[in-house]
Amino acid sequence: MAVLADPKAINEAQLQALSNASSARGVELAVVLAGTPEEIAAAIIEAKDSGATALNVLTSPLFSFNRRIVIDRVATVGLPAIYEWPEMAEEGGLIAYGPRLILIYRQLGRLLVKVLRGVRPEDLPIEQPTNFDLVVNLRTAKALGLAIPETLLARADRVIE
C-alpha cells in the first residue's frame, strides 16, 4: 500500500506512526510526497512503481484544491484509492470517508465571524468534525475491475452507480 502525503500537512512523527501501524498489521507501506501541484502526478506514478496495489490520499489542502489532478492520475495508473473528502469519490475517486468540505467551510466561517467580533483566536475552542460520510463509486470500481463487498456498500452513506 502507498500513502500520498503533503510534507506541509504532515510531520515525520505522524508518518512514522502510520508506518508503524501498517507494519503491525503486516502491510508494507510506501510513503510518497507531493508538496506542489506539479509534484502530484509524479508522486502517484512513484506509488504505483513502488509496487503498491492501493493508495491512501492523506488530507491536505493541496490535494483538495487539485483533486482533479489527483483523481485523474490515480485513474490513469489504475490504483484503487481512498480519500478523506466524500466529494472526491463523487467526482470519480473510488472510496472516500470523511467530513464534507462544505461543513468544514461553514465551521471555518463561524470561527471567522467570532474573530471578527473580537474573540481572540487562542480563546476559541478546538472543533472537530462530527459527521463523516462514506461514499463508494461503483463506476470507478468497475473501471478498475474491482468488486466492492456488499457489507461495505450497506454501510455507505452514498453509492454512486
Q: What is the pLDDT of residues 77-136, one digit of tens each?
A: 999 999 999 999 999 999 999 999 999 999 999 999 999 999 999 999 988 899 999 999
Residue 114 in any domain: the answer is: no
Phi, psi of 45 (to 5 degrees): -65, -40
Q: Which helix (H) or strand (E) holds 125?
A: none
Q: Name the residue with cell 473528502.
A: 85
Q: Name the residue with cell 490520499.
A: 57
Determine the number of helices (DSSP H) and then strands (DSSP E) in the chain: 8, 7
DSSP for 12-62 reads HHHHHHHHHHHHHTT---EEEE--SHHHHHHHHHHHHHTT-S-EEE---HH
In whole angstroms, what is the distance from residue 25 CA to residue 149 CA? 21
pLDDT band at 42 (very low <50, low <70, confident <90, very high): very high
Instruction: Please give the tally of structural domains in the chain.
Output: 1
In whole angstroms, what is the distance from residue 139 CA to residue 80 CA? 12
Residue 41 in any domain: the answer is: yes
Residue 117 in any domain: the answer is: no
CATH of the domain at 135: 3.40.50.2300
Q: How far is CA 124 from the centre of its chain?
A: 27
Q: What is the pTM of this model?
A: 0.89
158-160, strands of its sheet edge to edge: 30-33, 2-5, 55-57, 81-83, 95-98, 133-137, 158-160
Residue 92 in any domain: the answer is: yes
Q: What is the pLDDT of residues 11-31, one digit of tens each?
A: 999 999 999 999 999 999 999
What range does the domain containing 67 cover?
A: 2-100+130-160
pLDDT band at 156 (very low <50, low <70, confident <90, very high): very high
pLDDT at site 118: 97
Residue 37 in any domain: the answer is: yes
DSSP 8-state secondary structure symbol assigned to residue 157: S
Phi, psi of 44 (to 5 degrees): -70, -40
Using CB atoms within 10 Å of the CB of residue 72, give its burial: 0 to 12 exposed, 13 to 18 middle, 19+ buried. middle
